[in-house]
Amino acid sequence: MRKREAESVRDRVEELIESREHAHRDGEDQPPDTGLDPHERALLRNVLTLRGKNAYDVMVPRADIMAMPIDLTLDQAITFIQHDGHSRYPVYRDNLDDILGMVHIKDVFAAVGRDGPFSLQAMLRRPLLVVPTVPVLDLLLQMRQARVHLALVVDEYGGIDGLVTIEDLVETITGDIADEHDEIAAPQIIERPDGTIEMDARTPVEDFEEKFGPVLTDEERGADIDTVAGLVTTLAGRVPAKGELVSHPSGLEFRVLEADVRRVRRVRVKRPGMQAQAAE
């Protein structure tokens, strides 16, 4: 009974969101009032779609995992941390499939000035190991119950497929979360003297279309694209790399200024008819 009620509520919320978006696209003066602004609707839609996502969808892939070898000295460990900037790291013996545990940087820095030999082995904490198919919401609950902020995704043979942090999971709902160590974010939209526009790729599509006019095709609107990052990724068919140029059927061109393995972060937009801009 509760499952049917939950599905009914979910369906009703989706109907409200979609009715508002359809009314906006059709140019109605007074679309149905859901009480939600575009950012809130995007947030709620992200929550509703989490049920279809699993650890594999949100993990940092194996090739991009930053892990410490067990035999690092204190100076080497500090240099490693300063170069990479994370708070927790997997620790391995011979290769990434031989994970011994994870270490928190506060334990490493606490060893500065301490008498006796330095050993990462003595600082190891037990990581949470999960399969790639575990649903995101279940994984979030497991990490909360285990009071851990980092989980390793393992395949059926025990090899490491990827890594997931609490921040990764929360960002699937809220978008990027900046902390005190992140660089101060650039303004969301900047108009350049040459006529191009630079913007945060998290800019909602509705805000983008207020600037450029209707852009999305019917097919793109049906794909539930909420942000400029989502549009660029959909056009490319993958997460494009920094410096890559992605074209839209309308003639708009998106130059990727910042990106990582999981998402586009910042783009430069060139309107049709403008002279090509050099890639950064």
Q: Which two tokens stand for residue 204?
A: 């909602």
Q: What is the DSSP string of 64-90?
A: G---EETT--HHHHHHHHHHH--SEEE
**Among 42, 45, 41, 97, which residue's Cα sits nearest to residue 67?**
97
From the centroid of its chain, how far is CA 103?
23
**Among 227, 277, 235, which residue's Cα sits nearest to residue 257?**
277
Asked whether residue 280 is domain-assigned, the answer is no
Asked whether residue 73 is domain-assigned, the answer is yes
Out of 140, 174, 208, pick the residue that ends a domain.
174
**Among 163, 169, 102, which residue's Cα sits nearest to residue 139?**
169
Give the pLDDT of residue 91: 95
> Are both 121 and 149 inside the same structural domain?
yes
**Among 78, 76, 134, 129, which residue's Cα sits nearest to residue 99?**
129
Residues of the chain with pLDDT under 70: 1-43, 45-49, 173-187, 223-224, 261-262, 273-280
* Residue length of the chain: 280
Asked whether residue 87 is domain-assigned, the answer is yes
> Are both 169 and 62 inside the same structural domain?
yes
Neighbours of 162 (CB within 10 A): 22
Give the pLDDT of residue 8: 53
> Are both 9 and 107 inside the same structural domain?
no
| Whole-angstrom distance, CA of residue 105 vs CA of residue 123 | 10
> Are both 161 and 229 inside the same structural domain?
no
Give the pLDDT of residue 9: 46
The CATH number of whichever domain residue 255 belongs to comes to 3.30.465.10
> Are both 39 and 76 inside the same structural domain?
no
Note down the domain range covering 237: 189-270
Asked whether residue 231 is domain-assigned, the answer is yes
Give the pLDDT of residue 30: 46
Give the pLDDT of residue 49: 66
Asked whether residue 279 is domain-assigned, the answer is no
Give the pLDDT of residue 26: 52
> Are both 86 and 105 inside the same structural domain?
yes
Asked whether residue 120 is domain-assigned, the answer is yes
Asked whether residue 103 is domain-assigned, the answer is yes
Q: Exposed, middle or buried by CB within 10 Å (0-12, 13-18, 19+), for 188?
A: middle
> Are both 77 and 26 inside the same structural domain?
no
> Are both 69 and 170 inside the same structural domain?
yes
Domains contained in the chain, number: 3
> Are both 131 and 72 inside the same structural domain?
yes
The CATH number of whichever domain residue 156 belongs to comes to 3.10.580.10
> Are both 99 and 7 inside the same structural domain?
no
> Are both 164 and 72 inside the same structural domain?
yes
Asked whether residue 79 is domain-assigned, the answer is yes
Summarize pLDDT for 135-181 with one digit per residue, the tens.
888 898 899 898 889 999 998 888 999 999 888 787 776 665 555 44
Out of 129, 148, 174, pick the residue that ends a domain.
174
> Are both 47 and 112 inside the same structural domain?
no
